[in-house]
């Protein structure tokens, strides 16, 4: 009874804090969007503790004790992040745009490379050809597909924002990528490339207000909920009825029913987080293994050359014994590595990174921020390795290009 009351207090406090910080940072679009994303994950705890719902198909560690611990860890991360954000300085993207180097050759080269990665990174059976996402066993998705977003990101740092042709090329690539990803059941990649375009074309041009973000976020949430139902059972779109009643029954139950099972990406993320936290608390991940895992994460940017072992990816560790849909919240990883101090440190460092948009810093820091913002659905919900391995790569490539251009200019002079 005491644990239940404590959960209710923490959950209510966090909900009120979420709404408070959303209001405080409503004019800081990147922060506002990220806070909305964290709020969606908070709804999972409302489902479990207040609506008595099972939050995931996977039942391991889906209990009040472990989920209470996960909620508290999430609370520590969120409070540390939110209270260290700088609210007194307005975001000024003009500080960074003047550092962009317009170059049509580089822009189109990266677009063409991104197209190649998009095409060759995804193949096989799609949703139309299969009986559902879970039954689609012949789809081959490599990391090349998601890395095409990285190449597109780099291309945007050489784009001429006043060029209509380059803008059309950007939108054609984006729409093709989204259509291809959805056709194969993808959602995270769609959200990532949407965030990248929103940041570059709308936020940096001061064309987006918090009301627009809130409206389209609600539309996006409904769309992905509908898509989630359809990708598990594409046959709902077929049949004799013009409007399939089963589809609306599934959607209604996912939003409004009390009790039962509510399947969602966020629910799987929280259950996966509970699996990590539970394995630590019950001794299945010992102290030395936690240290090994931490150093594996630190050295992940050079993991192409090293064999870091099974502890380098905690989302797959011990899956033969304790099951989940994969991934896990970044706050859960931080708890595994550093205990309760981990989420506090992680929230603090993330806030410092978000604060760089309010000061004049190197273009390399800004590229890193753009990569982190673009991929937060991946590193926040699935694997923080993207925070380093994926997000540092465009910084390194941009540095290589800058050095190459300086060498060429030196030879010509």
Residues 137 and 263 in one domain: no
Residues 289 and 169 in one domain: no
Instruction: Quick: pLDDT tens for 294-333.
Output: 988 888 766 555 555 677 788 888 888 898 887 899 999 9
Strands (DSSP E) along 105-214, which ranges? 122-124, 139-141
In a domain, 330, yes or no: yes
In a domain, 147, yes or no: yes
Strands (DSSP E) along 307-354, which ranges? none
Given a cut of 50, whether residue 87 has pLDDT beyond it is yes
Residues 172 and 139 in one domain: yes
Within 10 angstroms of residue 67's Cβ, the number of other Cβ atoms is 23
In a domain, 311, yes or no: yes
Domain carrying residue 6: 2-92+258-361+379-412
Among 205, 225, 243, the domain-final residue is: 205
Given a cut of 90, whether residue 225 has pLDDT beyond it is no
Question: Which DSSP string do the residues of 220-277 spell out, in sequence order?
Answer: HHHHHHHHHHHHH-GGGG-SS-SS-HHHHHHHHHHHH--SSB---HHHHHHHHHHHHH
Residues 129 and 265 in one domain: no
Residues 49 and 180 in one domain: no
Among 143, 174, 205, the domain-final residue is: 205
**Residues belonging to the chain:** 413
Gap between the terminal Cα atoms of the chain: 77
Rounded mean pLDDT of the chain?
A: 86
Q: Distance (Å, rounded) from C-alpha 284 to C-alpha 318?
A: 9
In a domain, 316, yes or no: yes
Residues 272 and 405 in one domain: yes
Residues 169 and 306 in one domain: no
Among 181, 205, 229, the domain-final residue is: 205
Residues 100 and 37 in one domain: no
Q: How far is CA 40 from CA 33, 134, 280, 338, in A?
A: 11, 24, 26, 25
Residues 110 and 183 in one domain: yes
Which is it for the CA torsion 359, 362, 368, 374, positive or negative? positive
Given a cut of 70, whether residue 84 has pLDDT beyond it is yes
Instruction: Quick: pLDDT tens for 131-187.
Output: 655 555 567 888 899 999 999 999 999 999 889 999 999 999 999 999 999 988 888
In a domain, 325, yes or no: yes
The tokens for 387 are: 């925070």
Work out the average pLDDT over 13-23.
95
Question: Which DSSP string do the residues of 347-411 spell out, in sequence order?
Answer: HHHHHHHHHGGGS---HHHHHHHHHHHHTHHHHHHT-THIIIIITHHHHHHHHHHHHHHHHHHHH
Domain total in the chain = 2
Residues 52 and 112 in one domain: no
In a domain, 74, yes or no: yes
Residues 194 and 104 in one domain: yes
In a domain, 239, yes or no: no
Percent above pLDDT 70 for the chain: 84
Which pLDDT value is given to residue 405?
Answer: 83
Residues 291 and 397 in one domain: yes
In a domain, 160, yes or no: yes
């Amino acid at each position: 009874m005491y644990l239940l009351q404590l959960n209710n207090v923490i959950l209510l406090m966090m909900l009120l804090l979420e709404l408070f910080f959303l209001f405080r940072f409503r004019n800081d679009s990147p922060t506002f969007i990220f806070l909305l994303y964290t709020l969606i994950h908070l709804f999972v705890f409302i489902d479990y503790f207040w609506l008595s719902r099972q939050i995931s198909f996977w039942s391991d560690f889906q209990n009040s004790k472990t989920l209470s611990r996960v909620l508290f860890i999430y609370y520590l991360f969120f409070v540390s992040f939110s209270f260290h954000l700088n609210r007194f300085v307005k975001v000024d993207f003009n500080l960074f745009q003047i550092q962009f180097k317009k170059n049509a050759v580089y822009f189109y080269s990266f677009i063409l490379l991104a197209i190649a990665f998009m095409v060759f990174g995804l193949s096989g059976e799609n949703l139309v050809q299969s009986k559902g996402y879970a039954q689609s066993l012949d789809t081959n998705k490599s990391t090349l597909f998601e890395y095409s977003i990285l190449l597109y990101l780099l291309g945007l740092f050489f784009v001429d924002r006043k060029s209509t042709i380059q803008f059309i090329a950007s939108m054609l690539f984006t729409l093709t990528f989204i259509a291809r990803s959805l056709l194969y059941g993808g959602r995270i990649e769609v959200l990532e490339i949407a965030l990248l375009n929103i940041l570059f074309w709308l936020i940096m041009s001061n064309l987006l207000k918090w009301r627009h973000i809130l409206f389209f976020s609600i539309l996006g949430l409904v769309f992905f909920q509908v898509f989630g139902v359809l990708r598990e059972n594409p046959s709902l779109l077929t049949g004799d009825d013009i409007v399939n009643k089963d589809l609306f029954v599934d959607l209604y139950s996912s939003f409004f029913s009390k009790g039962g099972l509510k399947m969602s990406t966020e629910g799987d993320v929280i259950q996966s987080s509970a699996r990590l936290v539970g394995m630590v608390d019950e001794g299945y991940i010992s102290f030395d293994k936690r240290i090994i895992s931490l150093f594996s994460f630190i050295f992940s940017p050079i993991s192409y050359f090293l064999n870091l072992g099974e502890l380098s990816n905690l989302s797959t560790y011990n899956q033969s014994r304790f099951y989940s849909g994969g991934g896990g919240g970044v706050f859960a990883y931080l708890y595994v590595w550093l205990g309760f101090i981990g989420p506090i440190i992680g929230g603090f460092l993330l806030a410092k990174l978000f604060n760089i948009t309010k000061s004049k810093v190197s273009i390399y820091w800004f590229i890193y921020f753009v990569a982190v913002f673009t991929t937060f659905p991946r590193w926040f919900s699935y694997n923080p390795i993207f925070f380093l391995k994926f997000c540092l790569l465009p910084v390194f490539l941009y540095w290589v290009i800058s050095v190459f251009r300086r060498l060429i200019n030196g030879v010509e002079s």
